[in-house]
Chain A
Amino acid sequence: MQNENKKSQTLILPFIKNNGDKMIRRLKQAQMPAFGWMFAVIVGVMILFFVIYFLGKTIQTETKESEVILAKNFDILLNPFSSIGSSGPISMGKIINLGQESKIKFDCNDYGLGYQTMAIQSKSAFGKYGELINIDIPDKYIFSKELNGKSFYVLSKSFELPFRIDDLIYILSENYCFINAPDKIKEQFEGINLKKIRFNDCLDGDIDVCFEKSNCDVSVSGSKCEGFFCDNAYEYGIVKKEGKEIGFVTDALMYSAIFSDYKLYECNFNRLMNRLDLLIDIHKNKIGIIDPGCDSKMLNSELSTFKDYIKLKNMAQLSTSSKNLYEENSDLECPVF
């Protein structure tokens, strides 16, 4: 047995010795294609990963860019609505089409002259809403609820108390129905082909705005302006909606209270009052500079009284004081405003 084992060992060992290196080389060669494949797959996956990541980032940046452009353009498109400077009826009513389904929300800060922020989010080609873009709008007074849609109705009206403070912008995306509206209000919308506001012929889904009537989505009541020279239907009053009572003075602020949400109205009202305060100072300074031939100094005390009422935010007092100021200014040989 032992001899037989020795014999086989003497036969196998030299064979292994001779062919071992070759076998290892062959085994390594057999592993090479597998390594080549693995390497190709890893590099391929890495390239694919980078391409997908890069494409994702690019789409994200493109969406963000187009949204910033959309927001900036929207702000620029609103500029003509805030620089008309004409008094009387609704001075401008137009449709702004953004070209893509968008969600717009306004916020406001009332410190000093304050500013508004517009958060815009638009639908991409894939049907999803993109990133929320915020831009600051310091030079406008926009009254609106949260907006949803492609096109929006934009109206503007000059706010005068008694001199022009600025043009107020109203943006609507819902339908409104004015019930029992005074003729003055109907006149103000004449010439503007605005399908979003109906008078009396209400449809389902409309927001009902009742004048001197209750049990509506929004009810308006107040002191009407009587007389031929009235620019406003209401001198001051209250708008009741969503369980809240919102005070207003002049028609411009009445529309603001109707079309905007409560928080935005309050904030923009404070901004407007701060602006009015500064305008009073400018008018007072103007009285000091004006040609000595023009004696407008008697307006100074009325302006000071009016300035005091601004802080109280009493709508009736503001309206009366503004009327007094207007009359005194009209009586002057050189009107200050």
Chain B
Amino acid sequence: MKNKKAQMKIQEMAFVLIAIFLLFSMAFIFYIKLKSSNLEKTSYELKQSKALSILDKVAAMPELSCSKSLGKESLCIDEDKLEAMNMVELDVYKELWRGIKEIKVKKIYPADKEFIVHSSDIKDYESYSSFTRICRQKYDNTVFYQCSIGIILVSI
């Protein structure tokens, strides 16, 4: 009779221990889930703000931006420079765009043309875009600029 009582007590204690262990494990799993979803959200927000600020940066890059000689109109992307940049070894610029999947400049109207400024093999990415003006210097007795509508596409 007494042996059975002791066995019962040991079993009781074991169950209490298992219950405590399960409770702690569940609380831990819940915490980890909450934490990881928060982390993912923060990382996504950081990526998003980075991509948006890069959109501005790309348009102002000296390698791509229109020349100062355009004066106030110089807030555009120089098509000649886009082509000239593709003639330079783009690998040199990889360091500058570390962590970015792709940067593309696309002419959408009137013509349709695409220039890849940077490309890497990063998987799992999201793309952001903004409109821009793409201009080219022309000469017909006097110098003038022929502009088209384009978009800058940043994948991060």
Contact = CB atoms under 8 A, between A and B. Distances in A.
A85 B98 contact: no
Interface stretch (B80-88, B106-114, B124-132, B147-155): B80-88
Given A85-B65, A163-B68, A293 B20 contact: no
Given A82-B57, A290-B80, A291-B137, A282 B88 contact: yes
A79 B67 CA distance: 22
Given A76-B49, A163-B68, A334 B92 contact: no
Interface string A14-27: 00000000000000
B95 A115 contact: yes
Contacts of B59: 83
Nearest to B67: A337
Main secondary structure of the interface of B (DSSP, over half): helix
Contacts of A283: 84
A83 B57 contact: yes
Interface residues of A, number: 50
Interface string B68-85: 110000010010110111
Contact of B139 (A72, A83, A286, A294): A294
Interface residues of B, number: 47
A333 B143 contact: yes
A139 B96 contact: yes
B121 interface: no
Given A113-B96, A290-B137, A293-B140, A80 B53 contact: yes
A187 interface: no
A84 B80 contact: no
B88 A278 contact: yes
A105 B20 CA distance: 46
Contacts of B92: 112-113, 278
Nearest to B59: A83
A166 B20 CA distance: 60
Nearest to B141: A293
A69 interface: yes
Interface string B1-43: 0000010000001000100100010001001000000010010
A298 interface: no
A301 B49 CA distance: 43
A79 B143 CA distance: 34
B123 interface: no
A56 interface: no
Interface in B43-63: 46, 49-50, 53-54, 56-57, 59-63
17 contacts: A50-B24, A69-B46, A79-B50, A83-B59, A113-B92, A136-B98, A138-B95, A164-B62, A165-B62, A278-B63, A286-B81, A289-B84, A291-B136, A291-B138, A292-B139, A333-B139, A334-B137
Interface of B: 6, 13, 17, 20, 24, 28, 31, 39, 42, 46, 49-50, 53-54, 56-57, 59-63, 65, 67-69, 75, 78, 80-81, 83-85, 87-88, 92-93, 95-98, 136-140, 142-143
Given A83-B59, A286-B84, 4 more contacts: A76-B53, A164-B65, A282-B81, A337-B68
